[in-house]
Structure 1
Amino acid sequence: MNTRTTDQRSPSPSSSPSPTGLGAGAGAGQRCAPYAEAVLAHAGRDWLRLNVPGHAAAPGSDLAGFFGPRITALDFPPLLDGIDLGPDTPLDRALELAAEAWGARRTWFLTNGASQGNQIASMVAPALGRTLVVQRSVHSSVIDGLVLSGMDAVFVQPSVDPGQGIAHGVTAADVAAALERTPDAAAVYIVSPSYFGAVADVRAIADAAHAAGVPLIVDEAWGAHFGFHPGLPARALSLGADLATSSTHKLAGSLTQSAMLHLAEGPFADRLEPLVDRAFRLVQSTSASALLTASLDLARRALVTGADATGGSVGAADTVRGVIRARGRFTVVSDGFRAFPDIVGADPLRIAIDTRAGGITGHEARRRLFRDHQIMVEVATDAAIVAVIGAGSAPDTDRFVEALHTLPAPLTGSAGVARGMLRLPDPGPTKLSAREAFLAPARVVAAEEAVGLISADTLAAYPPGIPNVLPGEVVTAEVVRFLQRTATAPNGHVRGALDPGVTRLRVVA
């Protein structure tokens, strides 16, 4: 089987959509899903499959018996004539439609999540300068990109809500100050929206980056749906971002692990496009999933043509917040966003609830909702839970509200104790670049012995996956206590840890 990577071309759109999406005014092309339709038609033929994948779409296979024959019938490898191979393929047209929908010069379909997009963006930055100006609360995949690229980084500290123990965003002024002390800056890298739905002033930050002569890269993983309904914030590309990762599977409806990377038309586009395309080929699988790719095509169509359904989702989330406020037991986290100068808006599809006000920790609330009510929420912290409603979806929100208010209050009278546990640890000083520390000779020591030494790994309380210690940073006692407490919480997990309890750490020898 030929393993060369499929060429992902998405020519510049003839016209860019408005910041609120194409909606009802979408052209006929946006009402099609050319790649998904081509795969479906291909599966409908009587194939004798003597190629990979090895299940060969056999009706009697375990996969077909478990998932149904339709799944295996649609599971094709790349490089099929008339689908993704040849001139003007359905994949070419699907990419062009996606670029048009998001207002991009070019779009790439990713089958390893927005993490892959963050790695690509980090890998192209060395062609523009030596140092990346990075929001410290970026996703750990951006740090993975620093390891891959070998770049130095200057970190901009986000605002932190000490009551919630969560990081928000950065201000344009702080970004400008970091750029002023970084003469070899390659680009600025920020996150918007945050895991809790806080939206940054992307336009002002883009202006600061462009004034310094560098592009703005936005990890917009949680905002793939932005701009497709008037009730949603504008997407980053419409506000001046030059490159944006889009985790389409999160709230925009595609299958888990599928995502997009969007390049804006702008002063950096000519230089960035070939670099991104080459980096894409380095990290994209040569066996990209047709199912994931087709789901991206279908999600784009649903977003563009489904403004009414998306409006229903926004309304449902607003109703949940309103009922929670009216009942008075719990509080809504986003109600406190106005106190932070870096936040200019909130994603209405994320419902962040401070559970401590109702006498129960977020971790315990999540555990009981899962165990007793068969309700899954996106994330829990000591203080809160975050529920999400996908764009266009219509879940039984009454069931969620009622279950939430039947939760017992084991912490009644001791909420102050829970609040005392929420302070995010300050990172230790940086002594080596991420790549230098990651590739340096290392040794494993007890966590207590690692204090004062240089970490060789990225360690992040997950979700949300924001690194608490980076390769090259000095490990502090505060960080160790925070990670161990996270690891022992219900559903707690530390990404990058050597063991579930974070009893050992890898440090530079």
Structure 2
Amino acid sequence: MSDATTPRTGPSEQPTAPYLDAVVAYGFRGPGRFHVPGHKGGPGADPGLRYALGDRVLGLDIPQDIHGVDLGPKPTPYERAEALAAEAHGAARTWFLTNGATQGNHALCLALAPLGTHVVAQRNSHASIVDGLVLSGGLPSFVAPAYNSELGMAHGVTPEALDAALAADPDARVAFLVSPTYYGMAADVAALAQVAHARDVALVVDQSWGPHFGFHPDLPESALRLGADAVLTSTHKIVGSLTQSAMLHVAPTGRIDPAAVGRALRLLRSTSPSSLLMASLDGARRQLAVHGEALLHETIAAAKATREKLATTPGIKTIDYDMVGRDGVAAYDPLRIVLDTRGTGCTGYQVAEALRNAYDVQPELATVATIVCVLGVGQSPEALVRFAGDVDEIVKRISTPDATPIQALVRSPDALKNEMVMAPRDAFLGQSEVVNLEDAVGRISCESIAGYPPGIPALLPGERITAETAEYLRELVDSGARLHGAADPTIRTIHVLAANVG
């Protein structure tokens, strides 16, 4: 697959899906399959798998380097597909990713933050940013997102906070930020881009939760069109491609060299990428570009009606447009239904568990104070009506409004002020040992640990563990929060740099 300059496409080509069409044509024309994979389009697969997936899917599972698909006259169908995605998103160059936005974050860290390069990263960036810095050897400093202590909810980074972080680390060459959040709150990307560019810093935005942004007037604008220099979109999360597929877009600003990003991606990607994942990206792009506005119009209207219905359920509040204008929130994504459950006297965990047990309703996320539901571009209005009724029935059944008010979280981790004393790469790859948490004070962490809520890491590789941090981690566990990244989720023990190293 080529990393050459994106070929030009005509304005009428968005209704086509060149890679998907080429894969389909190859899969069903009856070729002699004397190449991998071993199932040979179905006959060699386990009968149970053939029954579950069907020979149509197995017939499309083809390898890289098939003539007429991603080899042959230029531009190949694969190159045309990526070019159409770049055109649809307003990018200078777009890559299809088959290991999620994680792959994109790793590539951007390798390309933009090589050994010893200073970067500023949002404290609650996806774990793949820290992992990417472990791979690349970049040296991070962190900027805290705005924080809602009542709900235990992290928002976006404010322009003022980014400016202060960049002033504190004048050697930083790139800023890695997140917009929107898990909860659908978008940061002021245009202002953040101005702050970064005024200091000659490239802005990378993890827009994984907003792959549909910019494709309907009632949605937030895409970060790429607001001035970001590179943007990640997890197409599978909302737009309809298969799980594990995503896109990486580099803007035409010139601050990021597409060739450097392509070189890093060649290092990271499999030589056997899934044709099914990439074909799904091509199809999802076509649907979003051609029919996205109409589909989104119906979904946004259905979501609005659902929020209005939920507002009549005692003890339930919806968290949406009222947040806009608060620190770190410039816009709201209506393809998120976020419920504040505190008025029911029950935690979000309890309400979510009751919904699963009674109606097989599966929310995306539950926290102490909230439930988060993620909608797709073509969400069924009937399913949303049913969901609102299910919540209403469950709340009537389990609510205890006279109970002690639910506390969202013990406190924010922002005040911990952890000291980064070693590059994450050196700490993660260094010789480690497991010690009891109380014995870890003063030692250097080899782990990345974040509590959900609020999703802000309390500890990162290379940071020195303080007594306050150890106490905070215990409070997280005692409050019912889940620890992501911890080798021991009970936090009785923790991996630290070996004594003879630190």
* TM-score greater than 0.5 by the shorter chain: yes
Tell me the CA shift for residue 480 of structure 1: 2.1
Determine if the alignment matches structure 1 residue 413 to structure 2 residue 402. Answer: yes
Superposition pairs of residues 95-110 of structure 1, within 5 angstroms: 95-110=82-97
Tell me the CA shift for residue 433 of structure 1: 1.7
In the alignment, which residue of structure 2 is the partner of 1:298?
Answer: 283
For 2:371 and 2:353, how far apart are their aligned partners in 1? 10
In the alignment, which residue of structure 2 is the partner of 1:23?
Answer: none
- Cα distance change of structure 1 residues 415 and 380 upon mapping to structure 2, 3 Å threshold: farther
For 1:12 and 1:465, how far apart are their aligned partners in 2? 40
Tell me the CA shift for residue 49 of structure 1: 2.8
Counterpart residue identity of residue 19, structure 2: Y
Given that 1:12 and 1:106 are in contact with CA atoms closer than 8 Å, whether structure 2 keeps it comes out as no
Tell me the CA shift for residue 283 of structure 1: 1.1
Equivalent position SS for 2:197: helix
In the alignment, which residue of structure 2 is the partner of 1:506?
Answer: 495
In the alignment, which residue of structure 2 is the partner of 1:445?
Answer: 435
Determine if the alignment matches structure 1 residue 497 to structure 2 residue 472. Answer: no
Given that 1:8 and 1:95 are in contact with CA atoms closer than 8 Å, whether structure 2 keeps it comes out as no
In the alignment, which residue of structure 1 is the partner of 2:449?
Answer: 459
Equivalent position SS for 1:91: helix
Q: Which shows bigger deviation, 352-361 or 252-261?
A: 352-361
Match of 2:126 among 139, 146, 151: 139
Counterpart residue identity of residue 295, structure 2: A
- Cα distance change of structure 1 residues 460 and 219 upon mapping to structure 2, 3 Å threshold: same
Given that 2:352 and 2:371 are in contact with CA atoms closer than 8 Å, whether structure 1 keeps it comes out as yes
- Cα distance change of structure 1 residues 360 and 463 upon mapping to structure 2, 3 Å threshold: closer
Determine if the alignment matches structure 1 residue 281 to structure 2 residue 266. Answer: yes
Deviation track 1:47-68 (CA, whole Å, cap 9, x = no partner) reads 3434322222234732212221
In the alignment, which residue of structure 1 is the partner of 2:359?
Answer: 373
Equivalent position SS for 2:401: coil
- Cα distance change of structure 1 residues 144 and 382 upon mapping to structure 2, 3 Å threshold: same
Given that 1:434 and 1:472 are in contact with CA atoms closer than 8 Å, whether structure 2 keeps it comes out as yes
For 1:463 and 1:97, how far apart are their aligned partners in 2? 38
Determine if the alignment matches structure 1 residue 41 to structure 2 residue 22. Answer: no
Equivalent position SS for 2:311: helix
For 1:129 and 1:438, how far apart are their aligned partners in 2? 15
Equivalent position SS for 1:216: strand
**Residue ranges of structure 2 left out of the alignment (5+ in a row):** none
Superposition pairs of residues 180-219 of structure 1, within 5 angstroms: 180-219=167-206
For 1:155 and 1:370, how far apart are their aligned partners in 2? 37
Counterpart residue identity of residue 61, structure 2: D
**Could you say what the CA RMSD is over the residues aligned between the two structures, in angstroms?**
2.2
For 2:408 and 2:282, how far apart are their aligned partners in 1? 46
- Cα distance change of structure 1 residues 366 and 264 upon mapping to structure 2, 3 Å threshold: same
Tell me the CA shift for residue 163 of structure 1: 0.6
- Cα distance change of structure 1 residues 262 and 374 upon mapping to structure 2, 3 Å threshold: same
Equivalent position SS for 1:507: strand
In the alignment, which residue of structure 2 is the partner of 1:21?
Answer: none
Match of 2:477 among 480, 484, 503: 484
- Cα distance change of structure 1 residues 128 and 425 upon mapping to structure 2, 3 Å threshold: closer
Equivalent position SS for 1:77: coil
For 1:423 and 1:479, how far apart are their aligned partners in 2? 8
Counterpart residue identity of residue 260, structure 1: M
Counterpart residue identity of residue 276, structure 1: V
- Cα distance change of structure 1 residues 378 and 450 upon mapping to structure 2, 3 Å threshold: same
Match of 1:424 among 382, 392, 412: 412
Superposed structure 1 runs of 4+ greater than 4 Å apart: 12-15, 462-466
- Cα distance change of structure 1 residues 449 and 105 upon mapping to structure 2, 3 Å threshold: same
Equivalent position SS for 2:398: coil
Given that 2:366 and 2:372 are in contact with CA atoms closer than 8 Å, whether structure 1 keeps it comes out as yes
Equivalent position SS for 1:222: coil
Superposition pairs of residues 76-95 of structure 1, within 5 angstroms: 76-86=62-72, 87-95=74-82
TM-score between both structures, scaled by the size of structure 1: 0.90
Given that 2:180 and 2:210 are in contact with CA atoms closer than 8 Å, whether structure 1 keeps it comes out as yes
Deviation track 1:361-388 (CA, whole Å, cap 9, x = no partner) reads 1111111212210111111111100011
Determine if the alignment matches structure 1 residue 58 to structure 2 residue 58. Answer: no
Superposition pairs of residues 311-390 of structure 1, within 5 angstroms: 311-338=297-324, 340-390=326-376
Tell me the CA shift for residue 127 of structure 1: 5.8
Q: Which shows bigger deviation, 209-218 or 497-506?
A: 497-506
Counterpart residue identity of residue 196, structure 1: Y
For 1:228 and 1:464, how far apart are their aligned partners in 2? 29
Given that 2:151 and 2:408 are in contact with CA atoms closer than 8 Å, whether structure 1 keeps it comes out as no
Tell me the CA shift for residue 415 of structure 1: 4.5
Deviation track 1:452-509 (CA, whole Å, cap 9, x = no partner) reads 43210112346886533210123322342255347x66xx5x3322245343211111
Given that 2:345 and 2:402 are in contact with CA atoms closer than 8 Å, whether structure 1 keeps it comes out as yes
- Cα distance change of structure 1 residues 320 and 209 upon mapping to structure 2, 3 Å threshold: same
For 1:76 and 1:251, how far apart are their aligned partners in 2? 26
Deviation track 1:175-212 (CA, whole Å, cap 9, x = no partner) reads 12222222211111110001111111101110111111
For 2:486 and 2:266, how far apart are their aligned partners in 1? 29
Deviation track 1:9-57 (CA, whole Å, cap 9, x = no partner) reads 4616579xxxxxxxxxxx4310011101111111102234343222222
Deviation track 1:283-309 (CA, whole Å, cap 9, x = no partner) reads 111111000000000110111111111
For 1:257 and 1:238, how far apart are their aligned partners in 2? 25
In the alignment, which residue of structure 2 is the partner of 1:7?
Answer: 2
Deviation track 1:140-167 (CA, whole Å, cap 9, x = no partner) reads 1111111111111121111110011111
- Cα distance change of structure 1 residues 152 and 335 upon mapping to structure 2, 3 Å threshold: same
For 2:408 and 2:68, how far apart are their aligned partners in 1? 60
For 1:499 and 1:89, how far apart are their aligned partners in 2? 48
Counterpart residue identity of residue 154, structure 2: A
Determine if the alignment matches structure 1 residue 242 to structure 2 residue 213. Answer: no
For 2:142 and 2:374, how far apart are their aligned partners in 1? 29
Determine if the alignment matches structure 1 residue 161 to structure 2 residue 148. Answer: yes
Given that 2:321 and 2:331 are in contact with CA atoms closer than 8 Å, whether structure 1 keeps it comes out as no
- Cα distance change of structure 1 residues 359 and 409 upon mapping to structure 2, 3 Å threshold: farther
Could you tell me the percent identity over the aligned residues? 43
Q: Which shows bigger deviation, 88-97 or 432-441?
A: 432-441
- Cα distance change of structure 1 residues 339 and 237 upon mapping to structure 2, 3 Å threshold: closer
**Residue ranges of structure 1 left out of the alignment (5+ in a row):** 1-5, 16-26
Match of 2:459 among 447, 469, 479: 469
Counterpart residue identity of residue 368, structure 1: A
Deviation track 1:339-380 (CA, whole Å, cap 9, x = no partner) reads 623211111101111111222211111112122101111111
Tell me the CA shift for residue 336 of structure 1: 4.5
Tell me the CA shift for residue 98 of structure 1: 0.1
- Cα distance change of structure 1 residues 410 and 356 upon mapping to structure 2, 3 Å threshold: same
In the alignment, which residue of structure 2 is the partner of 1:20?
Answer: none
Equivalent position SS for 1:31: coil
Q: How many residues align?
A: 486
